[in-house]
Amino acid sequence: MYCPPLIRQKLLFVAFQVTAVIVFTVHPFSILKAQQSEGAYAKGMVVCAYPDAAQAGLAILKKGGTAVDAAVAVQFALAVTLPQAGNIGGGGFMVYRSAKGQAATLDFREKAPAMASEKMYLDATGNVIPNKSLYTHQAAGVPGSVDGMVQAHQKYGKLPWSMLVQPAIDLAHKGFKVTEHLANDLNHNQADFSRLNSERTNYFAKATPWKAGDILVLEDLAKTLTLIRDKGRSGFYEGAVAAQITNEMKAGQGLITQADLDNYHSVWRKPVVGKYKQYKVITMPPPSSGGIALLQLLHSVEPYSLSRWGHNQDTTVQLITEAERRVYADRSKYLGDPDFYKVPVDSLLNPAYITGRMANFTWAQATPSSSIKPGSFAGYESDQTTHYSIVDGQGNAVSITTTLNGSFGNKIFVKGAGFLLNNEMDDFSSKPGVPNMYGLVGGKANSIQPGKRMLSSMTPTILEKNEKLFMVVGTPGGSTIITSVFQTILNVIEFNQDAQQAVSSKRFHHQWLPDEVMIENNALNETVLRKLQQKGYKITTRGNIGRVDAIVVTPKGLTGGADPRGDDTKAGW
């Protein structure tokens, strides 16, 4: 799909809002031995993208629930209150670190339906059909969120499942207060909702524009959530809701069948684990590109004096940009679903390889992206060498990133079931070298195959310092997820910012192609801008980059960073 720069820019602007990040930690008081002070909590904290969902999670913690119990409550509450991204019609990833230091990741990413095929978005002449992978029934992958929550709860939950789903049912049934952000998004998308849904199934239809304070009631969604509460996995993948999904598919030439729903299962995967200085980084393996890319980025900048140079200074921005350029080039070639493509994890994370990638970086001028290709290495490594460790801990921590892909996914409701479907199929490479909605290119590793998971950038991450929990972080933002998580970690470790400053600080982004540094408004001062431009960097200003939600453990206790770019909220006790 050819995407003119202006449209691409607009898509990028829309796309940054799309993914909900839920970050939770629980610290048993006796273990943390932290003093509670203002803004720092000893017994637990939730930072997530919507106030009602944060309260739902906190209430579960107060009832004695685990971090995973709170995660389930927040996931379903966001499926009601954050329809742009919170979901039961999408998927996501969880990174978990137990109070005893046990680390695990859960992949509940959507899968391509069995009827999907490599060229399904191409016309007869081999060109990508605009929007087919975005705003049609065929844009939807088989949803994974409900299975993921069930799996996570079975392994790490304590409170009864029904207690965790109930808050979401109450929000949908009684209604919740629309924020200004949500009102704007609902109004902005109203024409699409009307075009893509019948009048009866546009659950966001309203005679007058939405405004902050309006109450949104979602009765059909409440019924669906009730079935999930009472029947767990089978309340979604079987019976009435499954029939509603397959009927919706038949009505709109979609591909998801009952067999696809029966065959959907989330997967526990070994975390990708690396080191940055004295910190251990526990993060998401493929089919996310995020964990590998994050570790590559951290290793690329580790030898340099970032803390001396300072936050968003010219040398800092130049170094980070050059690292990002090289890492995203690798992403385009080597990352995909490990169940279908042998991702060369160890080669990509080999310190000598990463150092070598930075060897042609020069301070004198920008390296043109045209001169950077994905790296090459001698051959694939053996299977058993991925880093992972079990560590002693100080509390349970969960970092979850979950998504519909585009804002409101494919914008198509499942008739009668009241929820939106994802458009995650656009995260596949529809055609080698042709950018997706985030401007990302890919090839064979991320080609469409039945049952395959599409490559993601989601980077839920947990850091330890001295074998104790230090930071829990993640963000939405499509292709900018990786760089936002990277810069937030640097803000804390290198630039000594507290959790809130680190999250609020202005960000920038480079992804190899297009060859430009995208910055938030006022992210860089005039002097820095001039110096970078003199060296040949093309700099473009765009809207917000990411919505990071983070928790940092300090001697005072748990401190949170809730992104002011959205309705993000921190709640602790």
| Site residues for ligand GLY per CB under 6 A | 19, 403, 405, 424, 427, 456-458, 478
Which among 362, 385, 527, 540 is annotated as catalytic?
385
- Which CB, 111 or 570, lies closer to ligand GLY? 111
404 sits in the region (left: phi over 0; alpha: psi -120 to 50; else beta) called alpha
In the complex, which residue's CB is closest to ligand GLY? Answer: 456
Residue 288: CB minimum distance to ligand GLY, A: 7
Enter the tokens of residue 148: 């993921």
Q: Which residues pair with 468 in a beta bridge?
A: 465
Q: Decide whether 403 or 511 has the Cβ nearer to ligand GLY.
A: 403
Which CB, 157 or 474, lies closer to ligand GLY? 474
Minimum CB separation of residue 405 from ligand GLY in Å reads 4
Smallest distance, Å, CB 10 to ligand GLY?
A: 17
Indicate the residue type of 174: K
Report the nearest approach of ligand GLY to the CB of residue 248 (Å).
21
SS3 assignment, position 526: helix
Q: Max alpha carbon distance in the chain (Å)?
A: 66
ω before 450 within 30° of 0 (cis)? no
Question: Residue 290 or 572: which CB sits closer to ligand GLY?
Answer: 290
Q: How far is the CB of 457 from ligand GLY (least distance, A)?
A: 4
Cα–Cα distance for residue pair 295/307, rounded to 1 Å: 19
Q: Which two tokens stand for residue 120?
A: 């399904």
- Per the annotation, the verdict on 246 as an active-site residue is no
Residue 18 neighbours by CB under 8 Å, 6+ apart: 84, 85, 403, 404, 405, 406, 407, 476, 477, 478
Q: Which phi and psi (to 5°) does residue 247 adopt? A: -65, -40
152 exposure class (CB count in 10 Å sphere: 0-12, 13-18, 19+):
buried
Closest separation in Å from C-beta 133 to ligand GLY: 12
- Three-state SS for 285-307 is CCCECHHHHHHHHHHHHCCCCHH
CB of 69 or CB of 424, closer to ligand GLY: 424
Q: What is the dihedral of CA 481, 486, 488, 493, to 10 degrees?
A: 170
Instruction: Using only the alpha carbons of the chain, give its radius of gyration.
Output: 22
When the beta carbons of 1 and 178 are compared against ligand GLY, the nearer one is: 1
Contacts of 530 (CB under 8 A, 6+ apart): none
Residue positions annotated with a catalytic role: 385
